[in-house]
Amino acid sequence: MARDYSEIAAGYVEELRARGREIDAARHVPQDIADRLAEEGFYRLCTPTELGGVGADPRVLAEVCEILATGNGSVAWCVFIGATSQYMFPAASPQLIDELLENPNVITSGVFAYSGTANQPADASDTWTVNGRWEWGSGCRNAAWISGGVTLCDSDGSPILDKHQRPTEARAFFKPEEIEMHDDWHTSGLRGSGSNSYTAHNLEIPDYRVATVEALRASPLADSPIYRFPRFGYLALPIGSIALGMARDAIEEALGIAKSKTPTGSSRSLSSRPAFHRDVALAESSLRAARSLFYKDIETAWEEAQETVGSLETRRLLRTSTVHAVTTAISIIDRMYTTVGGSSVYEESALQRHFRDVHVASQHMMVAEPVMELAGRVMSGIDDQAPGL
């Protein structure tokens, strides 16, 4: 019988709530939690079964992240990054796959941005010298393998062009001890995500540990639905679901506080005030609407991926509903934070944590304002390609 990953995720929520302050103080997910989540299969949910993964569809990943986020946004964020960082596995060489899967429950982390270079020495064709700095390395403190986007260059630093005469894009795979992790994740929100920067300084790695985007496209798995599903849509969608999960919990937290709180200077409990009734009703209806649109567009894109590569319109809808989920969640959490008054400002308050976390999550480039600008260009007929969607 197939495992119910949503039910498994729900089993972690109370523990994550109870350990919230510990997670924030550590500034990364405690290793015991990360290891158990890996054993559950959360870090390999959408990885093809041929490569040791669960082979689930993107909706499962979104639902798992949404549920975990009701307990702790940072933990959900690290599952999101860990799962999507395995996207390049089909491009990896057999030797690299063997090393990656030496532990079937391997915890991975990575940054897709091409913030580094990999130079091929003039006197050797089987190694690359990697230099770069990657920001927002979420989950890197827990991972056994960490990757970073690189541009391939020849020995004199000139980009190596692919068959389309563009710089060749790739992922370099590192062991934690090979790179320098910087203790720079001192933030207001998502404190427990361990999103430190890391750098590689003239790091020589073997050729088999560099996987190119071209190799991904040439892989026999490239025609499977998960790789026909819009790539950027897939990489962005857990941000939307995490925001929705935090918004859901913010409403529940506000309802719980309202039952026991009588505001200063009032004889009535917060839960008896019409203004509070209006706030929670509007918040809940906004959440349902945003969540319905979000998951509908995921389902539409997944159905299309069974037959063909996602269309421009499908890509546009998927990205915009993800951004809409985040902006709606911000509005809901801000409203719940305000409506319960001073109770929300303390560190032990889930509302206070969600307030901080959702505003940091919204700064990720995958859900930033330029996404909507690009979508508007498509709607206006100015851009009929929009590769960034």
pLDDT per residue as tens digits for the range 146-173: 999 999 999 888 999 988 899 999 999 9
Average the pLDDT over 216-226 and give the result: 95
The pLDDT assigned to 346 comes to 81
Using pLDDT thresholds of 50, 70 and 90, give the confidence band for residue 2: confident
The answer to whether residue 157 sits within a structural domain is: yes
Q: Are 79 and 37 in contact (CB under 8 A)?
A: yes
Q: Which helix (H) or strand (E) holds 371?
A: helix 369-379
Please check whether residues 164 and 253 belong to one and the same domain.
Answer: no
Q: Are residues 137 and 198 in the same domain?
A: yes
pLDDT of residue 122: 81
Kindly report the average pLDDT of the chain as a whole number.
94
User: What's the predicted TM-score (pTM) here?
Assistant: 0.96
> Could you report the per-residue pLDDT of 295-314, keeping only the tens digit for each?
999 999 999 999 999 999 99
Among candidate residues 83, 72, 86, the one with its CA nearest the CA of residue 28: 72
pLDDT above 80 for 47: yes
As given in the structure block, the two tokens for residue 13 are 């929520």
Write out the E strands in the chain. 108-119, 127-137, 145-153, 169-174, 180-181, 196-206, 210-212
pLDDT of 265 above 60: no
The whole-number average pLDDT for the span 243-267 is 82
- State mean pLDDT over 240-244: 98
Residue 94 lies in a domain: no
Model confidence at 124: pLDDT above 90:
no
Instruction: Report the distance separating Cα 76 and Cα 20, nearest Å.
Output: 12
pLDDT at 341 over 80: yes
| CATH (domain of 51) | 1.10.540.10
pLDDT computed for residue 97 by the predictor:
97
Within-domain flag for 223: no
What band does 272 get if pLDDT is binned at 50, 70 and 90? confident
Nearest residue to 83 via CA among 48, 36, 50, 31? 48
Residue 253 lies in a domain: yes
Write a three-state SS string for 277-294.
Answer: HHHHHHHHHHHHHHHHHH
**Is residue 131 domain-shared with residue 248, that is, in the same domain?**
no
Structural domain ending residue among the three candidates 19, 52, 84 = 84
Together in a domain, 73 and 155? no
The 8 Å CB, 24+ separation contacts for 258-267 are 258/340, 261/340, 261/341, 261/343, 263/341
Q: Which residues pair with 153 in a beta bridge?
A: 119, 159
Cα gap 37→60, rounded to integer Å:
15
Q: Count the Cβ atoms, other than its own, within 10 Å of residue 74.
A: 31
Of 154, 147, 157, residue with least CA distance to 91: 147
Which two structure tokens, joined as six digits, stand for 235? Answer: 């990489």
198 and 300 housed in the same domain: no
Segments forming the whole domain that contains residue 360: 229-262+269-379
Q: Are residues 285 and 351 in the same domain?
A: yes
Residue whose structure tokens are 């088999």 = 208
Find the mean pLDDT for residues 194-208: 97
Confidence of residue 268 (pLDDT cuts 50, 70, 90): low
Percentage of residues in the chain having pLDDT higher than 70:
97
CA distance 17 to 48: 31
- Rounded distance, CA 312 to CA 291, Å? 22
Chain segment 64-92, per-residue pLDDT in tens: 999 999 999 999 999 999 999 999 999 99
One-character DSSP codes across 28-90: S--HHHHHHHHHHTGGGSSS-GGGTS----HHHHHHHHHHHHHH-HHHHHHHHHHHHTTTTGG
The CATH number of the domain holding residue 205 is: 2.40.110.10
Q: Which two tokens stand for residue 321?
A: 């509903």
275 and 160 in one domain?
no
Number of structural domains (the chain) is 3
CATH number of the structural domain spanning residue 290: 1.20.140.10
Task: State whether 69 and 116 are in the same domain.
Answer: no
**Contact between residue 10 and residue 175 where contact means Cβ atoms under 8 Å apart:** no
SS3 106: coil
Q: Is residue 92 part of a domain?
A: no
Only one residue has tokens 């063909």, namely: 308
Q: Say whether both 12 and 153 belong to one domain.
A: no
Q: Which residue has the higher pLDDT, 194 or 156?
A: 194
Residue of 285, 242, 265, 245 whose CA lies nearest to 341 = 265
* Same domain flag for 277 and 253: yes
Q: Which pLDDT belongs to residue 266?
A: 56
Rounded Cα distance between 206 and 220, Å, is 24
Residue 98 domain-assigned (yes or no): no
Residue 255 and residue 137 share a domain: no
In a domain, 386, yes or no: no
pLDDT digits (tens, 9 = 90+) for 313-322: 999 999 999 9
Question: Given a cut of 60, is residue 325 above it in pLDDT?
Answer: yes
What is the average pLDDT across 334-358?
Answer: 90
Task: Decide if 51 is inside a domain.
Answer: yes
Q: Are residues 370 and 235 in the same domain?
A: yes
Query: Which structure tokens are listed for 239?
Result: 């941000």
Closest to 226 (Cα-Cα) out of 55, 54, 53, 106? 55
- Domain end, chosen from 184, 215, 246, is at 215
Q: What is the pLDDT of residue 263?
A: 53
